Structure 1
Amino acid sequence: MSAPPTTAAVAGYEATIRRTTDGVAHITGASMGDVTFGQGYANGEDHACTVADQILKVKGQRARWFGPGEGDANINSDLAWRAIGIGRRARNDYETASPEVVEAFDGFAAGWSAHLEEVGPGGVSGWCAGKNWLRPISGEDVYAYARSIALLASSGALTDFIATAAPPTAAARDEETPPSTNGFARALASTDVAARSTGSNAWAVGAEKVTGGEGGLLVGNPHFPWEGERRFWEVHLTVPGETNIYGAQLIGVPGVGIGFTDSFAWSHTVSAGHRFTAYTLDLDPADPRRYLVDGEPREMTAQSVRVQVRRPNGELRAVRRNMWSSEYGPIINFPGVGWTDTQTLTFRDANIGNDEFAEQYLAMTTATSFDEFVGAHREHQGVPLFNTVAVSSDGRAWYADTSATPNLSRQGERLYRRALRDDAFTQVAADNGAILLDGSDSRFEWEEVDGARDPGL
């Protein structure tokens, strides 16, 4: 250890933080709440600005503090996250979350806030030092951010298109361009909806392939970025007699995302499955705010969303837009298709109802055996978009893709394969890691089966 340990404490929490020569935080506490308190405190020391910015993002407050952003990027982000309702969903989920999850998230928020209280905004390290938008955070805030991570390869990748979707106007009709597979392909590639840029590698080697025939070997090679909110943060968490786990977690979230104990080790790679299905909607000729399913008109719904935007002089102005949805989910203004008098796009998100994400990873973090670790996947089904590769200390190797995946009926699959052959837009979507279905045909709706975490998975 390169420096004396630090004891961080506020009413109800206490943790000891020891740093190695590389700055890795080794955190010990009497309970998981104490340990995540220390984790939040250390996150505040290392990445306070990233955490605070992501909290503003999911609250829909970036434009309030940073202005509209280039090309109204902050406005669009705020409108979309409020339309997605991540704060409302987190609030509802948090009320029914397990006491263990609430303990972990409240502890993390208390630790991060304790560090901010101790050093003040001016003492924070990083680009946000001294900013007046640095405020204490709550467990619910952290939970909302965690819920947004589950939407990385679905709603979270489509926020610009959600925020700018609007019915065609007379002026827009005059400038309307025909659908373009080229524009569609470029937009799909730029959004990386299949999370290909963060694909990773991992190898699990069981005892039969290990020299001497004892134990197992795991090699994890995650490809998440070195900077920004998707960066992994190395950490060691210990609750004496209960938990002793070393690994890495995304900045701003309690627990461990990939790691090892004395009994098992695991890593993730990005699943080849899909986290959403996009749908073309054939619109009612009498009103482009209605769409047809099996020839019958159905109404879109409009949600009025309001955000505050900071002007250059510091004053705030309000921006209000209608955010539109179909029965599947948000309408999206996707390049190459847009929203015309006859057609637009919408999508359904497999992770929008993923209230098991936090439960899943806390269960993995606190598992005391390999069997308990595997059982967490069966019980919670909360892994959002990853394959899991794991080994046990007694030499068992395990692979599973338990991530949220839309479930089409056999008939829907046959129809989709036909569209892959005959429809250029369906082909372009598939080439860029997305599934495009015909929303005017109810045979493409997701099929419900017993045992799934949510209907349609």
Structure 2
Amino acid sequence: MRNRLRRLILFTTALLSVAATASPAPADAGNGGGRAERASGGGLSATIRYTEYGIPHIVAKDYANLGFGTGWAQANDQVCTLADGHVTLRGERSKYFGAEGKPDQSLSSASTNLSSDLFFRGVRDAKTVEKLLDVPSPVGPGREVRELMRGYAAGYNAWLEQNRITDPACKGEPWVRPITSLDVARRGFALAVLGGQGRAADAITSARPPTATDAEAPAPDRDQVADAARELFSAQNADMGSNAVAFAGSTTANGRGLLLGNPHYPWHGGRRFWQSQQTIPGELNVAGGSLLGATSVSIGHNASMAWSHTVATGVTMNLHELKLDLSDPTTYLVDGERHRMKKRTVTVGTKGGEQVTRTQWWTRYGPVVTSLGAGLPLPWTKSTAYALNDPNAVNMRLSDAALALNKARSTKEVKAALARTQGHPWVNTIAADKAGHTLFTQSQVLPRITDELAQRCSTALGEATYPSAGLAVLDGSRGECALGKDPDALQPGVFGPSRMPTLEDAPYAENSNDSAWLTNLDRPLTGYERVFGTVDTQRSMRTRGAIEDVAAMADRGRLRVRDLQKQQFANRVPAGDRTAEDVARACAELPGGRATGSDGKAVDVRAACEAIGAWDRTMNPESRGALLFDRFWRKLVAGVPAAELWKVPFSAADPVRTPHTLDTAHPGFARALADAVAELDRAGIAPDAPLSAHQTVERAGDRIPVHGGTESLGVWNKLEPTWDPAAGYTEAAHGSSYIQAVGFNGSRCPVARTLLTYSQSENAKSPHLSDQTRLYAQKRWVTSRFCERDILASPELKVVKVRQR
């Protein structure tokens, strides 16, 4: 009792100190960008209470002070990663790390530092973000978000001023510098355009008009481009996806909603989550995971509502095919009128002191691009060029959308908040609330490509790419092919909220990065435009397994938070359930127990047959044969065309169970099996080795076994590990990240279990480098300390008052 009283006195004293010392915001604080870049100020302060695993609970009197505490606390855990991101946004990677070095692609898809610098320096030179900040709300960001950004920059800078960096990744480095609120806004802009201009950074910065002596390039092959586009947009969700499910009160033990959020994000670099609670007494109280550099909680819960996001299938860009003036390839025609492209000349410095200058070319539709990645060429000829339209390049509302969800108290308010802010560029939202309601909505900022417009205005290339991949290629020479405006849209050229695929109050609402169609198997969503995603098409193995699991859970009913926890770490392998028995049988029937690999050598696979037959069909630490099946399956799906993999093809009438029955007579079957066995043998791994022995991550010299499985296996608890030919899986590239299982009861304290799989910090000297990673290895969770009594009861409670000097 005495200890609890002491903690209460500490907290009360800290709050009184915040109220007494925090200065009011300057009168012009809401003006945003377009002004000189200088370190933010204002005498800001906050109270940070740390509980187990280094989770900060930040308390402040207003949004500027809350931003201050958030910026401070993020810098305390991740200063090097954050600083590296600001080097990217300043366009200075080549200067410090070399032009040919590779960024971590957390802020764009640029393949080299030089390409990244040219792209982001171009954004700065054009004052793109400053102009967007000068747009008043609701089209531009609101006052509260601007205050958060101002405070965040001040908090980050105050931490730099008052602390010594211990992380070897950036200790003593000149590129760690103070930031401004404009820098915080630039990071938000970069996240918004990740699926559009950011994806095309290489193409924007390398586009060159043809010269008079250049030979005319052939038109792009329609089928090749369509296949590449389909691969490009499916890979988006395979590499960085998520699962989330909301259960309605009709399925739960107490009639209140439940939510399980399982985003799959990178384990390293600038797109990591960071966990916190943010509180402004009487105004805001929310806990969850924030993307690094974000001023608000990105995925989380408050006292009466929980939400998560999944990467959506909506295609956030489109192309306009330009008809060029044959006398000048930098002039294009619209309704017969000539329009000169705008030159954007960008210069960046390199590590050797060289100055590199490139020219970008911009049109009324957006920048000219000459590709969208490998296999998707868009040649700039003397008669034709392609311009990229990215509606999120004029969207600075991502932070407003996040804050609005932080404050929403029900799924009804979530839907209204998304309709009001219209700021999310590339995610779905899944939510459940205390009253037992559920929500799924694909509320994205998408180009307003209706099927009618695509049919009327697609070029020959677009006729191939739009049906197959949702990528529209419109005739840019016709004014009638403009995207138009929905009456309820905040900006022209995008869909309004009434057009978004939405499902309310279903017994369950689940998404695993496929389209909205099978959010609930019994209530399929249809009638949306192709640009949002597909209907009546084959689902991923992960979606199929997820629907099986959550539908069975809903039917069973009386669900509790512990049922969500069990689902998260069940590690069931849907691909194994469907095929392992057939694989083991066909393997055992191979003549002489041998199979021929891709190198033409025969391999003894008898031990492998036994291991797969005995495998428990999970990716649990103790699972024997799991690693063998994983390596076999990866090789099989990569080496056998999808149409030839199964004997029974996909049927829209039975979308979860089809396709099925593996074609083990296909020559790729025995080849994949032989290659997998040989690969494990070279690494010194037995076919029946437990997964925990060879799927690990290293932290501070210790090997930590991690469970979960890859995308193609369909495992809910996704993990994409890095293969070392000599040792097996030795690191995680991406996968389950900030996980939350949330329910509600009669009190104001939600029942929440969370886990940040890779822990709070990448600093090798931090006590929070791997503490939650070790919990993950043991399938243990963190009990959320949301209410005051729980925070004050923490045995590791540490109260820190932070302020500007």
TM-score > 0.5 by shorter chain: yes
- The one-character-per-residue Cα deviations of 1:295-338 (angstroms, maximum 9, x if unpaired) are 54432221222222231xxxx33222221012100001215222
Q: Distance in 2 between matches of 1:299 and 1:379?
A: 37
Whether 1:152 aligns to 2:194 is yes
Counterpart code for 1:237 = Q
Q: 1:391 aligns with which of 432, 457, 460?
A: 432
Match of 2:81 in 1: 50
Counterpart code for 1:394 = A
When residues 285 and 291 of structure 1 are mapped into structure 2, their CA distance, relative to the original with a 3 A threshold, is same
Q: Distance in 2 between matches of 1:361 and 1:450?
A: 23
Match of 1:37 in 2: 68
Match of 1:59 in 2: 90
Whether 1:363 aligns to 2:404 is yes
Aligned residues of 2:223 and 2:464 also touching (Cα < 8 A): no
- C-alpha deviation, 1:359, in angstroms: 1.8
Q: Tell me, what secondary structure is at the counterpart of 1:127?
A: coil
Counterpart code for 2:442 = D
- C-alpha deviation, 1:268, in angstroms: 0.9
Q: Distance in 2 between matches of 1:370 and 1:273?
A: 22
* 1:16-165 superposed matches below 5 A: 16-70=47-101, 73-84=112-123, 88-95=127-134, 96=136, 97-120=141-164, 123-165=165-207
Counterpart code for 2:472 = I
Aligned residues of 2:207 and 2:370 also touching (Cα < 8 A): yes
Counting aligned pairs with the same residue, the percent is 33
Name which of structure 1's ranges 349-358 and 437-446 shifts more when overlaid on structure 2.
437-446
Aligned residues of 1:258 and 1:267 also touching (Cα < 8 A): yes
- C-alpha deviation, 1:163, in angstroms: 0.3
Q: 1:277 aligns with which of 312, 315, 318?
A: 318
Q: Tell me, what secondary structure is at the counterpart of 2:195?
A: coil
Match of 1:242 in 2: 283
Q: Distance in 2 between matches of 1:155 and 1:146?
A: 14
Match of 2:508 in 1: none
- C-alpha deviation, 1:370, in angstroms: 5.0
When residues 346 and 13 of structure 1 are mapped into structure 2, their CA distance, relative to the original with a 3 A threshold, is same
Counterpart code for 1:29 = A
Q: Distance in 1 between matches of 2:266 and 2:426?
A: 17
Aligned residues of 1:387 and 1:399 also touching (Cα < 8 A): yes
Whether 1:216 aligns to 2:257 is yes
Q: Distance in 1 between matches of 2:125 and 2:354?
A: 23
Q: 1:305 aligns with which of 337, 340, 346?
A: 346
- C-alpha deviation, 1:156, in angstroms: 0.8
Counterpart code for 2:479 = S
Name which of structure 1's ranges 375-384 and 19-28 shifts more when overlaid on structure 2.
19-28
Q: Distance in 2 between matches of 1:323 and 1:255?
A: 34
Match of 2:663 in 1: none
- The one-character-per-residue Cα deviations of 1:149-192 (angstroms, maximum 9, x if unpaired) are 11111111111100001111256x25956634587468757865
Aligned residues of 2:309 and 2:428 also touching (Cα < 8 A): yes
- C-alpha deviation, 1:452, in angstroms: 0.8
User: RMSD of the TM alignment (CA)?
Assistant: 3.0
Whether 1:340 aligns to 2:371 is no
Q: Distance in 2 between matches of 1:168 and 1:424?
A: 21
Q: Distance in 1 between matches of 2:217 and 2:492?
A: 38
Whether 1:169 aligns to 2:206 is no
Name which of structure 1's ranges 370-379 and 46-55 shifts more when overlaid on structure 2.
370-379
Counterpart code for 2:152 = F
Q: Tell me, what secondary structure is at the counterpart of 2:278?
A: strand
Q: 2:240 aligns with which of 198, 201, 204?
A: 198
Counterpart code for 1:261 = N
Match of 1:447 in 2: 484
Aligned residues of 1:153 and 1:193 also touching (Cα < 8 A): no
Counterpart code for 1:249 = S
Q: Distance in 2 between matches of 1:225 and 1:175?
A: 42
Q: Tell me, what secondary structure is at the counterpart of 2:394?
A: coil
Q: Distance in 1 between matches of 2:167 and 2:488?
A: 47
Aligned residues of 1:292 and 1:298 also touching (Cα < 8 A): yes
Q: Distance in 1 between matches of 2:185 and 2:48?
A: 23
Name which of structure 1's ranges 430-439 and 146-155 shifts more when overlaid on structure 2.
430-439
Q: 1:318 aligns with which of 355, 362, 369?
A: 355
- C-alpha deviation, 1:84, in angstroms: 4.1
Q: Gaps (5+ residues) in structure 2?
A: 1-6, 23-40, 103-110, 495-805
Q: Distance in 1 between matches of 2:232 and 2:92?
A: 22
Counterpart code for 1:348 = N
When residues 411 and 427 of structure 1 are mapped into structure 2, their CA distance, relative to the original with a 3 A threshold, is closer
When residues 124 and 345 of structure 1 are mapped into structure 2, their CA distance, relative to the original with a 3 A threshold, is farther
Q: TM-score, normalised by structure 1?
A: 0.87
* 1:350-429 superposed matches below 5 A: 350-367=391-408, 370-408=411-449, 411-415=452-456, 423=460, 426-428=463-465
Name which of structure 1's ranges 342-351 and 281-290 shifts more when overlaid on structure 2.
281-290
Aligned residues of 1:113 and 1:137 also touching (Cα < 8 A): yes
- C-alpha deviation, 1:381, in angstroms: 1.0
- The one-character-per-residue Cα deviations of 1:254-274 (angstroms, maximum 9, x if unpaired) are 110111011111111122222
Name which of structure 1's ranges 361-370 and 74-83 shifts more when overlaid on structure 2.
361-370
Q: TM-score, normalised by structure 2?
A: 0.51
- The one-character-per-residue Cα deviations of 1:102-159 (angstroms, maximum 9, x if unpaired) are 2211111111111111224xx2425222111111111121111112111111111111
Which of these two proteins has the greater Rg computed from alpha carbons? 2
Aligned residues of 1:202 and 1:269 also touching (Cα < 8 A): yes
- C-alpha deviation, 1:407, in angstroms: 1.4
Aligned residues of 2:47 and 2:59 also touching (Cα < 8 A): yes
Aligned residues of 1:68 and 1:75 also touching (Cα < 8 A): yes
Q: Distance in 2 between matches of 1:138 and 1:176?
A: 45
When residues 77 and 194 of structure 1 are mapped into structure 2, their CA distance, relative to the original with a 3 A threshold, is same
Q: Distance in 1 between matches of 2:86 and 2:433?
A: 36
Q: Tell me, what secondary structure is at the counterpart of 1:78?
A: helix
- The one-character-per-residue Cα deviations of 1:218-273 (angstroms, maximum 9, x if unpaired) are 11111222222111112122223332211111001111011101111111112222
Aligned residues of 2:207 and 2:369 also touching (Cα < 8 A): yes
- C-alpha deviation, 1:410, in angstroms: 6.0
Aligned residues of 1:408 and 1:444 also touching (Cα < 8 A): no
Aligned residues of 1:157 and 1:193 also touching (Cα < 8 A): no
Name which of structure 1's ranges 144-153 and 278-287 shifts more when overlaid on structure 2.
278-287
Name which of structure 1's ranges 124-133 and 153-162 shifts more when overlaid on structure 2.
124-133
Counterpart code for 1:102 = R
Q: Distance in 2 between matches of 1:85 and 1:328?
A: 20
When residues 222 and 438 of structure 1 are mapped into structure 2, their CA distance, relative to the original with a 3 A threshold, is same
Aligned residues of 2:465 and 2:473 also touching (Cα < 8 A): no
When residues 410 and 179 of structure 1 are mapped into structure 2, their CA distance, relative to the original with a 3 A threshold, is closer
The structure where strand makes up a greater share of residues is: 1
Q: Gaps (5+ residues) in structure 1?
A: none
